[in-house]
Amino acid sequence: MGLSENEIKILKFLLEVKKRVNVDEIEKGANIPKNSLYSLLQLLKDKGFVKLEEEERIIYELTPEGKKRLEEGLPEDRLIAILNGNKMKIQDVKDKLGDDYNIAISWARKKRLIEIKNGEIIPLVNSFVSIEEINALKNPENADPNVLSALEKRGLLTKKEAKVLYVQLAREDVSIKPAITYLSHDLLVSGNWRNYEFREYNVEALPPFVPIGKKHYFVEFLEKLRDILKELGFTEVTGNFIEEEFYNFDLLFQPQDHPAREIHDSFSIPGSAKLTDYQLVEKVKEEHEKWWKYKWDENIAKRLVLRSQTTAVTARILASKPKVPTRVFVLGKVFRPDTIDATHLMEFHQLDGLVIESGFSFRDLLSLLKEIFNRLNIPQVKFKPAYFPFTEPSVEVYGHFEKLGWVELCGAGLLRPEIMESVGIDAPAGAWGMGVERIAMLFLGINDIRDLYSSDIEYLRSRKVEIEW
């Protein structure tokens, strides 16, 4: 039966001491860390070399104060050392002992080491060291119980019950042979192989688990979306999470009394913005009042919200009067009040695309969307007429999945002329937006949207490295 190097160390120590010992003694004698000893001793017990017995006993440990007194000396000992056989004024002693003065005086009186007369401290001994107490602090196991009790009351020791493991040899005829794994030429020639035992091979043992580094599956999905759009000539743009209602709603021809602008559909942020493009503000105001037939309020447009749609970034791109042709997309988080459950989050990703090209038609938009979803491995796509405040004509896009049937993927359309006139762009523009998480769930086989953001390390390790596209 093969023995490891540390197992041999333990057995040699036990053969030397020839008595029952505890784990602390083995730690010191065999020079093996205690956290490794317990498993080694259990192995030796299973191999029939040792007996293990667990007993409860009282253990004393030094408190921080006890460690300080062991290092500096007890206050009463320091007092006698300061007096050095001579009387001293109380104030002089206080100055030397500081915070320890009261403790030193109290214990020195109890031990009849001093007396106080006429404002002076008079030593009754020339020198003194509390030998019993110091030794008890150094080695509580062998100290007088009365001394230990006194030190505990002084807050220098703490007492607790602990289980102690005792070890002794199970038999005296212990044959110690180190174990080896490989048989070398030298061992064969010299005959030293007789002095060793050979470790057995467990051919059924699994290799050690080595976690590999890999991309997070949802991050990988987002990167795939980016790659598809970049391959189609799009440039990624970004925007701020905190947005003005002007760009989140007004510029997108969404009236100020629209339900989506209520507090239960958008997160409001304290404060207000400054609308510096006065010409654009006037054009937006004009279009709203002309077509929606209400008094447009600039103060409402200045309010701040957490952006509820990435189309707000599209609105800022439009306001910047980009050169024609332009193809851009934004992939980022949006925020909406909602109850978190298996299909809803309060913050999630949206993908918005924008194409501004001369002669760009509704048919071109539908063709582009079919190509995007075909590259996402969704070849079967159909379109259904829909309504959105900022596009006309508008469609909802559906994709066919084998197990689920037809599933809504995104909304799209040509931007309304009221928007294009407001920003002063004389070219048609197509736009679309999709919620990313729910599409990711379909591809990744996830039934709970919260698993896209799981921090469970075992769950994350169990995910496949690659996505089937």
Phi, psi (degrees; rounded to nearest 5) at 130: -80, 75
Q: pLDDT-derived band of residue 8, with 50, 70 and 90 as boundaries?
A: confident
Give the orientation angle of helix 436-444 with respect to helix 217-231, to 10 degrees.
110
User: Which tens digits make up the pLDDT trace of 82-140?
Assistant: 888 898 998 988 888 888 889 888 888 988 988 998 888 888 888 888 888 888 888 88
Q: Which domains does the chain have, with CATH numbers?
A: 5-48+165-198 (1.10.10), 75-129 (1.10.10.10), 217-462 (3.30.930.10)
Q: 318: closest CA among 420, 231, 189?
A: 420
73 DSSP assignment: -
47-93 pLDDT per residue, tens:
888 888 888 888 888 899 989 888 888 988 888 888 888 989 989 88
At residue 1 the predicted structure's pLDDT band, cuts being 50, 70 and 90, is low
Q: What is the pLDDT of residue 149?
A: 87
User: Residue 25 in contact with residue 169, Cβ under 8 Å?
Assistant: no
What is the pLDDT at residue 263?
Answer: 59
Q: Which amino acid is at 368?
A: L
Q: How many whole angstroms separate alpha carbon 253 and alpha carbon 290?
A: 11
**pTM given for the model:** 0.56
Q: Taking the chain, what is the end-to-end CA distance rounded to the nearest angstrom?
A: 54
